[in-house]
């Protein structure tokens, strides 16, 4: 009896098995290629990612470097500006100090020059004052000498007048009386053609018949040698009008040093008043 073995449902023919094997191989190869592709893709992506990361790092490094360079440049610029500003400030202060020093030196020089000029002016003034004082003293001495001489001449003139009067008195008679009156009239001392009469410390200069006379009052005297002469003299130009009060009769009034000066101004006033 021939027993036919029952075919295994799961078993396949060799051809199919081979085909399946090829298919599996193909799938395996395909899977492998897929895996390789995927791996390559992942590797490429990783590489791209790495490249991107490197680029980012490079950009960050570049930016960091640029930032550092900018910062250093800015710092260098600020340092340079600060240095320049400091130098400019120092130069300005040095210039101001120099200018101030020069101004101070110029002022001191000017002050010294002014002080020297003031000193020279003062010295010149003192020299001038000394010279003027010396001249004034010489003039004063000259005037005093002249006053002494005038006083002496006045005294001698009066003595001569008295002597002449005594000589004429001895003649007697009418002729003698007439001569006496004439001599008495001529007894007055004349100054610039006008009589000068003295009574104590008061002198009258001029004719009482004229509109004006001069009154000279000796206020003080001084000793010159062995003689006493007038020092301060008051001069008044008086009207001879008897109807006026004494206060109203005074036309001009002054005070002079020395009789000569008083007589000089009195004679000028009197002549001008009589000429009007």
CA angle 136, 140, 145 (to 5 degrees): 150
**CA dist 35 → 8, 32, 49, 50, 158 (Å):** 36, 5, 20, 21, 176
**Structure token pair of residue 17:** 């098995």
Tens digits of pLDDT across the chain (276 residues) = 444 444 445 555 555 556 666 666 666 666 777 776 776 677 666 666 666 767 777 787 788 788 888 888 888 888 888 888 788 888 888 788 788 788 788 788 788 887 778 777 777 777 677 676 667 666 666 666 677 677 676 667 666 666 656 655 554 444 545 545 545 555 678 888 899 999 999 999 999 899 999 999 999 999 988 888 999 999 999 999 989 898 899 999 999 999 999 999 999 999 999 998
Q: What is the dihedral of CA 108, 110, 116, 120, to 10 degrees?
A: -160
pLDDT of residue 4: 46
Cα–Cα distance for residue pair 250/253, rounded to 1 Å = 7
Structure token pair of residue 67: 């930032």
Q: Judge contact between 252 and 237, C-beta under 8 A.
A: yes
Helix, strand, or coil here: 245? coil
Q: Rounded to two decimals, what is the model's pTM?
A: 0.35
Determine the Cα–Cα distance for residues 103 and 97; give it in Å rounded to an integer: 10
| Spatial separation of the C-alpha atoms in residues 149 and 28, rounded to whole Å | 174
- What pLDDT is recorded for position 179? 47
Instruction: Give the bridge partners for 138, in sequence order.
Output: none
């Amino acid at each position: 009896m021939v027993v036919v073995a029952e075919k295994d449902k799961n078993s396949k023919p060799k051809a199919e098995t081979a085909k399946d094997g090829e298919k599996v191989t193909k799938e395996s190869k395909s899977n492998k290629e897929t895996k390789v592709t995927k791996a390559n893709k992942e590797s490429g992506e990783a590489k791209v990612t790495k490249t991107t990361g490197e680029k980012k790092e490079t950009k960050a490094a570049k930016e960091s470097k640029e930032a550092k360079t900018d910062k250093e440049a800015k710092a260098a610029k600020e340092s340079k500006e600060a240095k320049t500003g400091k130098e400019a400030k120092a130069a300005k202060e040095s210039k101001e100090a120099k200018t101030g020093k020069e101004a101070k030196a110029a002022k001191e020089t000017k002050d010294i020059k002014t002080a020297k000029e003031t000193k020279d002016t003062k010295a010149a003034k003192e020299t001038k004052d000394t010279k003027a004082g010396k001249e004034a003293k010489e003039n004063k001495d000259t005037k005093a000498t002249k006053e002494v001489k005038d006083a002496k001449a006045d005294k001698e003139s009066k003595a001569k007048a008295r002597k002449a009067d005594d000589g004429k008195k001895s003649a007697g008679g009418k002729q003698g009386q007439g001569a006496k009156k004439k001599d008495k009239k001529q007894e007055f001392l004349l100054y610039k053609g006008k009589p000068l009469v003295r009574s104590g410390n008061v002198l009258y200069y001029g004719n009482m018949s004229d509109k004006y006379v001069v009154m000279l009052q000796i206020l003080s005297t001084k000793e010159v040698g062995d003689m006493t002469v007038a020092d301060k003299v008051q001069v008044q130009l008086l009207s001879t009008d008897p109807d006026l009060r004494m206060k109203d009769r005074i036309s001009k009034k002054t005070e002079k040093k020395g009789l000569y000066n008083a007589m000089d101004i009195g004679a000028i006033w009197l002549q001008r008043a009589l000429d009007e």
